[in-house]
């Protein structure tokens, strides 16, 4: 496996690797590390991790990987050293930055190769702050990345995407890709997530109120501003409501300004980034959980991991009408759907859940059952295992 960032942490990479190890595979992971590390080679949860150091310059050049060849030229010797040392049977590249370099090197190794796209990178790049100002706006083209993404998918022997909606995006324009695509949703591993101990002090701090919880990156594209703007409407019907934001982003100053303008300092709490081990405690303390992400081609075709964390803890949720998450919530009857970026509609859905304990409990029970039966890594990883079973046949 190849990862263009530090490891750990990366829950998707770890989940995939551990699942394959349990099925008898050996997994060796190339990690391009931009942080100081004690051990170059280390076994982490059964994964043989090989770390290769990357400088600050290399990190900056990685954003220009499909503009100039500098990053690829600098990283190829590291990749070649790893492949030559490990002598693998198959290659598995996570995301786009290292993909072309690995594919180029693989011409001399001739190994079957899987491209694992964790997200629609070209679409999400449009929202990166540095791409909306100079010089990034001139040097980095999302359109070029989109074209490159298709080229890489065509070159790979197999492709892994995170949702059926992501696969559907390519079905009309590139029908030839459909046979090589496997869908592996980015759900949680219950053996890890549900084993974190509950912080009772944290739970006691919030359970006296009607807590509306948001977990994750708090950037504006996640609809956090919509959630804050919904609070004045919610408070008219549910006076003890509190919005708790667990996460951070460089745009938090904008959110805090909205809070001040709406006089919500006593009703909106910024918890900052917290370790994932505390997530179950925050969820347990909540009355309803939210994923108000805004509509765009990326959000429409991917799952916010938070919805599966909420489900695992048996909580009702209110999510925006981004198709991928909407389909899950509606199919499992575990929450309500609001119109994205519509604070009044979000408020109405929140009031409906908070004012109806029977509805909230029923949705919570449905959520927990759906998590145990379908939306967990033990189930969704089956396609990954089948994928590598088919690769074994492909190789033979």
DSSP 346-359: HHHHHHHHHT-HHH
3-state secondary structure (DSSP) of residue 130: helix
Enumerate the H helices of the chain as residue ranges: 11-22, 56-62, 70-86, 99-109, 121-125, 136-139, 142-155, 164-171, 190-193, 200-206, 224-237, 252-261, 279-285, 305-312, 323-332, 343-354, 357-373, 377-380, 382-395
Identify the H or E element spanning 159. Answer: strand 158-161
Cβ atoms of 300 and 282 within 8 Å: the answer is: no
Q: Is 3.40.50.2000 the CATH classification of the domain at 191-375? A: yes
pLDDT of residue 123: 85
- Sequence ranges of the domains in the chain: 2-184+381-395, 191-375
10-residue mean pLDDT series, the chain (396 residues): 92 92 95 90 95 91 88 95 96 96 96 93 78 74 91 95 90 91 91 92 92 96 97 97 96 97 97 94 97 92 92 98 96 98 98 98 98 94 88 58
Cβ atoms of 296 and 318 within 8 Å: the answer is: no
- Beginning with the edge strand found earlier in the chain, give each strand of the sheet holding 28-33 in spatial order: 41-44, 47-53, 28-33, 2-3, 91-94, 113-116, 158-161, 181-183
pLDDT of residue 392: 62
Residue with tokens 């708090």: 218
pLDDT of residue 95: 95
CATH of region 2-184+381-395: 3.40.50.2000
pLDDT of residue 219: 92
Cβ atoms of 203 and 284 within 8 Å: the answer is: yes
Instruction: Say what angle helices 305-312 and 323-332 make with each other, to 10 degrees.
Output: 20
pLDDT of residue 109: 94
Give the burial string for 251-283 (b: 16+ CB within 10 Å, else e): bbebbeeebeeeebeebbbbbeeeebebbbbbb
Cβ atoms of 48 and 26 within 8 Å: the answer is: yes
Report the residue count for the chain. 396
The C-alpha atoms of residue 198 and residue 200 are separated, in whole angstroms, by 6
Cβ atoms of 228 and 255 within 8 Å: the answer is: yes
pTM: 0.86
Check for a shared fold between 2-184+381-395 and 191-375: yes
The C-alpha atoms of residue 160 and residue 157 are separated, in whole angstroms, by 10
DSSP lists the bridge partners of residue 270 as 245
pLDDT of residue 208: 85
pLDDT of residue 124: 81
The sign of the torsion formed by the CA atoms of 334, 336, 339, 340 equals negative
- Is residue 231 classed exposed, middle or buried when 0-12, 13-18 and 19+ CB atoms within 10 A define those classes? buried
Residue with tokens 């954003």: 63
């Amino acid at each position: 496996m190849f990862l263009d960032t530090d490891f750990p942490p990366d829950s998707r990479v770890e989940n995939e690797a551990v699942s394959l190890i349990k099925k008898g595979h050996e997994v060796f992971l190339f990690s391009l590390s931009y942080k100081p590390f004690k051990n170059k080679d280390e076994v982490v949860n059964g994964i043989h991790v090989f770390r290769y150091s990357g400088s600050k310059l290399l990190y900056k050049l990685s954003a220009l990987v499909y503009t100039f060849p500098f990053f690829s030229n600098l990283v190829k010797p590291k990749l070649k050293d790893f492949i030559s040392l490990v002598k693998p049977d198959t290659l598995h590249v996570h995301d786009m930055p290292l993909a072309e370099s690995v594919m180029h090197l693989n011409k001399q190794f001739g190994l079957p190769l899987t491209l694992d796209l964790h997200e629609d990178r070209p679409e999400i790049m449009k929202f990166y702050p540095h791409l909306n100002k100079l010089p990034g706006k001139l040097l980095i083209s999302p359109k070029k990345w989109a074209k490159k993404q298709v080229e890489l998918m065509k070159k790979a022997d197999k492709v892994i995407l995170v949702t059926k909606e992501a696969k559907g995006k390519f079905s009309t324009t590139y029908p030839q890709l459909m046979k090589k695509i496997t869908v592996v949703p980015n759900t949680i591993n219950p053996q890890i997530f549900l084993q974190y101990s509950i912080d009772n002090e944290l739970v006691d701090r919030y359970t006296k109120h009607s807590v509306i919880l948001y977990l994750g990156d708090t950037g504006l594209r996640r609809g956090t501003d919509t959630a804050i703007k919904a609070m004045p409407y919610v408070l008219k019907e549910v006076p003890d409501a509190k919005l708790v934001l667990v996460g951070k982003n460089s745009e938090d100053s904008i959110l805090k300004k909205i809070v001040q303008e709406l006089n919500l300092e006593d009703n909106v709490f910024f918890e900052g980034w917290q370790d994932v081990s505390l997530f179950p405690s925050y969820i347990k303390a909540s009355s309803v959980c939210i994923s108000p992400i805004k509509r765009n081609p990326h959000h429409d075709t991917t799952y916010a991991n938070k919805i599966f964390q909420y489900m695992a803890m048996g909580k009702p949720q209110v999510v925006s009408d981004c198709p991928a998450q909407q389909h899950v919530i509606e199919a499992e009857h575990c929450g309500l759907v609001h119109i994205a970026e519509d604070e009044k509609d979000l408020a109405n859905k929140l009031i409906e859940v908070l004012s109806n304990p029977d509805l909230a409990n029923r949705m919570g029970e449905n959520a927990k059952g759906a998590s145990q039966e379908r939306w967990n890594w033990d189930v969704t990883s089956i396609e990954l295992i089948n994928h590598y079973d088919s690769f074994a046949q492909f190789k033979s």
